[in-house]
Amino acid sequence: MSAHDCVQSSLAAALRAPALPVAGGDFAHGGGEAERRMAVHRNTFIVSLVDALADAFPVSQALVGEPFFRAMARERVLADPPRSPVLTDYARGMPDFIAAFAPAARVPYLADVARIEALRIQAYHAADAAPLPHAAYHALLASPSSLHRTRAVLHPACAWFRSPHAACTLWEAHQDLSRPSDAALEDVDATRAEDTLVARPGLDVVVQCLPAGALELLDALRDGLTLGHAFQQARHAVPLLDDGALFAVLVVHGLVVALDPLPEP
């Protein structure tokens, strides 16, 4: 490692840990003045990242209050600073940090609400793709036997997950408010399990609670099963499955971008 790289590395470490000295460079010597200057840089570094996380997770912050969220975000910055200049990548790790952050355990649904916010960022920056036109679905349904020989290519800007909490409903309750902290949550049963879809078929990111069986269907399609076998897998998980409702999820949210017919046996 060159002398310049050594200075850069020690400077980066000192920004996170006040007790660490800086090897070489302008901060290596100078006593109290050098430490004062380093403290200014350290504070700017931490506060700017905390601000970025607060902007990326407004609902999560509203659920626990600004002081708690900023203190938690600060702990995340100190424990696990960004390894890339792309802060959208850094935001993706926040839900896992919250899930492991002991003081947040009093709000058991917080990590899953944060997961929705992280997936929204991910969907916004994902690749564009044109959803499958409705005519292609009509042609597919006109020949039901083809469902077992056709795989679906899913949109790159969609993701889904299962939560043991009403994460989707909690997130929705905070939308279209001038202040997210004004959300009325008295009638929300936070203990109700929900499956959540986050997708961006066009310009706007949508968040939607999924009907029963949709998560199993999407899992199967992601794993390469044909549409027919994917519906069978969903039906195995949910015996009274509403096939029409699941097809509507695929169509309305533009989750399929292409069909991949398998060769005839």
Reported as a single tens digit per residue, the pLDDT across 137-164 is: 999 989 888 999 999 999 999 999 999 9
171 vs 180, residue with greater confidence: 171
Q: CA-CA distance, 106 to 22, in Å (whole number)?
A: 39
Q: What is the residue-wise DSSP string for 77-104?
A: HHHS--SSS-HHHHHHTHHHHHHH-GGG
Q: CA-CA distance, 202 to 130, in Å (whole number)?
A: 8
Instruction: With CA atoms as reference, report the closest residue to 251 among 124, 131, 128.
Output: 131
Give residue limits of the domains in the chain.
Answer: 57-261
Task: Identify the bridge partners of residue 206 per DSSP, sorted by sequence position.
Answer: 199
Q: Can you tell me whether residue 41 is helix, strand or coil?
A: helix
pLDDT value of residue 10: 43
pLDDT band of residue 32 (cuts 50, 70, 90) is low
pLDDT digits (tens, 9 = 90+) for 225-248: 999 999 999 999 998 889 999 999
Q: 165, 209 in Cβ contact below 8 A?
A: no
Per-residue pLDDT for 217 more than 80? yes
The residue written with tokens 């203990």 in the block is 191
